[in-house]
Structure 1
């Protein structure tokens, strides 16, 4: 059961891509409304040792939209659990990027017994504060001229006179340490309805602080770019202090898109983390990698 295919989940078709064989790693893509192609081809070398399971979240990429046109964090957690069951997996390893890092933690606090290990990258935090702080830090970097242009494009977007691509052309350079990395990013679609719906849900409801004790038996590693919009120092405050057993690795000369900008390093980190039975090797300073 390898390759790209559609799997029926709760009466809706989910686009799933399975590559390789071995212990499974399930990838959770960032940006609500985006798609799994963000990870490709960058993570494919891991398929030599692991079974990679990538999928487009509901209403994203090639997956069918919600029949009720409703999207929420809870829906995505339920979809992930139904996918686990459909694939016959007892426990899963999760690789969550950006919004996917939040989804990984949401799932693990609801189904802690179903999770083996979690690798987070471009992480956001455990409450809406991280999501809000991300926007604030990004805004600090954008020039006044670009802010004016973005405002105009956002107004036009509401009346279909501009596209998300127009907006992303301005924002994307701030997600990387080197603009050269943009050449290696796959052009992906974004469903604006999904993006806006889940964004509102995060602002209204994302708070895991009362459930974090449920993560105590799950190995968690965080790989954050040195020049991420949320720097490793900020992630110490937004995530690590709440999950003290989680380990933080700083990826040097890297922005938010670690998988795109430093793929070989992320492959090495993921391989060592998911293969190693004793994660005490990650009790180290951030300069190890």
Structure 2
């Protein structure tokens, strides 16, 4: 995002709000960010585990399930919709925006926890599962790959295979290592200026979701700034970020730590790890550090792409994923 564009957008927003006959408030649904399932009844959704999640499916519900888990925390599945191609191959493909993310219901910060996110995932599986013998494959990207691993660590017997695309660290030590090497906003960079500029116009208290989600959406432009360490080619589409869940789970990781690897030695199914060639923060060495916790695994490089490999290089990701699923299905 260019600074000039950011300034013009902010100024236009101010004049727009001032000129409307009907007064608009920036913390009301639909004025800054898209409405969630709580405001828009036309959005596809499911009610599970005490929340309402934006969700949709493709394919025959009786076929083996491939459940996609988006990154973040707080992002959504919009930039991974190409994964629905697997429905043409005989899989039941499930997408959902995680609690507090994308277009799903928002909650106060104090309710979030990693076990709750795992419970939500389990509830989604049970919601869509049509028989006890239906196979379930998890396909996670970034934080979604971490969440998939956390689920396997608790319920190794419930997952028939897993595709993990650039997890951001399967325990606190690895997460800190990856965090230090990636998504760094350098002082005086254009992206930093954008974030600080918008902060002059918009503030937001802990649970003012519309304002905070908008700010996170603007701030996310630094992830694809020129020369970013993760090799991200440019912006990819999203509906809405979830600032509160991002902040809550980050605080938990920093203050309490986490470890998704304590029980992985009981999971003997082969696990597929994917990483982008251009992500200098991840690469083969970091993939090996994560994959070692699984007794059986394979690591595949996706050429000429970075962290957003599923969106930008789905044509290269798809045959690797298809071959993996075919062997296990």
Q: TM-score, normalised by structure 1?
A: 0.83
Whether the 8 Å CA contact 1:176–1:261 is kept in 2: the answer is no
Query: Per the alignment, in what secondary structure is the counterpart of residue 205 of structure 1?
Result: coil
Q: Determine which structure has the larger strand proportion and give its number.
A: 1
Contact 2:152-2:264 at 8 Å conserved across structures: no
Pick from 85, 91, 104 the counterpart of residue 45 of structure 1: 85
- Cα shift at 1:199: 1.4
Q: For residue 92 of structure 1, what is the aligned residue in structure 2?
A: 136
Is there any run of 5+ residues in structure 1 with no aligned partner, and where?
279-289
Whether contact under 8 Å (1:13, 1:64) holds in the other structure is yes
Query: Given the superposition, is the C-alpha separation of residues 87 and 165 from structure 1 closer, same or farther in structure 2, using an over 3 Å criterion?
Result: closer
1:210 equivalent in alignment to 2:251: no
Q: Is 1:28 matched with 2:80? A: no
Q: Is the CA contact (8 Å cut-off) linking 1:38 and 1:188 kept in structure 2?
A: no
Taking the aligned partners of 2:80 and 2:217, their CA distance within structure 1 comes to 19
Name the CA distance, whole Å, in 2 between partners of 1:116 and 1:67: 34
Mapping of residues 62-211 of structure 1, within 5 Å = 62-66=103-107, 70-89=111-130, 90=132, 91-138=135-182, 142-146=185-189, 149=193, 152=196, 159-160=203-204, 163-173=215-225, 174=228, 177=231, 179=233, 181-182=234-235, 185-203=236-254, 204-211=256-263
Q: Is 1:17 matched up with 2:68?
A: no
Q: Deviations over 1:172-217 (max 9, x none)?
A: 23376463x53xx2133111100011112233232133222222x2
**Are the equivalent residues in 1 in contact too, given 2:265–2:295 (CA < 8 A)?**
no
Verify the 8 A CA contact 2:232 2:307 in the aligned structure 1: no
| Equivalenced residues, count | 269
CA deviation string 1:81-135 (max 9, x = no partner): 1121222253410000000011001101111111000000022232112221222
* Cα gap change, 1:148 to 1:59, in 2 (>3 Å): closer
Given that 1:153 and 1:166 are in contact with CA atoms closer than 8 Å, whether structure 2 keeps it comes out as no
- How far apart are the structure 2 equivalents of 1:14 and 1:129? 31
Q: Is the 8 A contact 1:27 1:55 kept in 2?
A: yes
SS at match of 2:278: coil
Q: Is the 8 A contact 1:225 1:255 kept in 2?
A: yes
For the residues of structure 2 that align with 1:170 and 1:126, how far apart are their CA atoms? 24
Cα 1:157–1:124 shift into 2, 3 Å: farther
CA gap 1:87/1:209 in 2 versus in 1, 3 angstroms: closer
The question of whether the paired residues in 1 share the 8 Å contact of 2:230 and 2:282 is answered with no
Tell me which moved more, 85-94 or 101-110: 85-94
Task: For 2:222 and 2:76, locate their aligned partners in 1 and report how far apart those are by CA, in whole Å.
Answer: 20
Say which SS state the counterpart of residue 310 (structure 2) adopts. Answer: helix
Instruction: Specify every segment of 5 or more residues in structure 2 that has no aligned partner in the other structure, as ranges.
Output: 1-41, 205-210
- Name the structure 2 match of 1:286: none
Structure 2 match to 1:284 = none
Range with greater deviation from structure 2 (102-111 or 43-52): 43-52
Q: Report the Cα distance in structure 2 between the residues aligned to 1:266 and 1:75, rounded to whole angstroms.
A: 30
The equivalent residue for 1:249 is: 300
Alignment-derived partner of residue 282 in structure 1: none
Q: Matches of 1:190 and 1:25 in 2, distance apart?
A: 23
Q: Which moved more, 1:110-119 or 1:268-277?
A: 268-277
TM-score, normalised to structure 2, is 0.73
Moved more, 94-103 or 128-137: 128-137
Cα–Cα, structure 1 residues 115 and 145, in superposed 2: closer, same or farther, change >3 Å? Answer: same
Aligned counterpart for 1:6 among listed residues 41, 45, 48: 45
Q: Please give the secondary structure, in 2, of the residue aligned with 1:163.
A: helix
Range moving further from structure 2, 54-63 or 101-110: 54-63
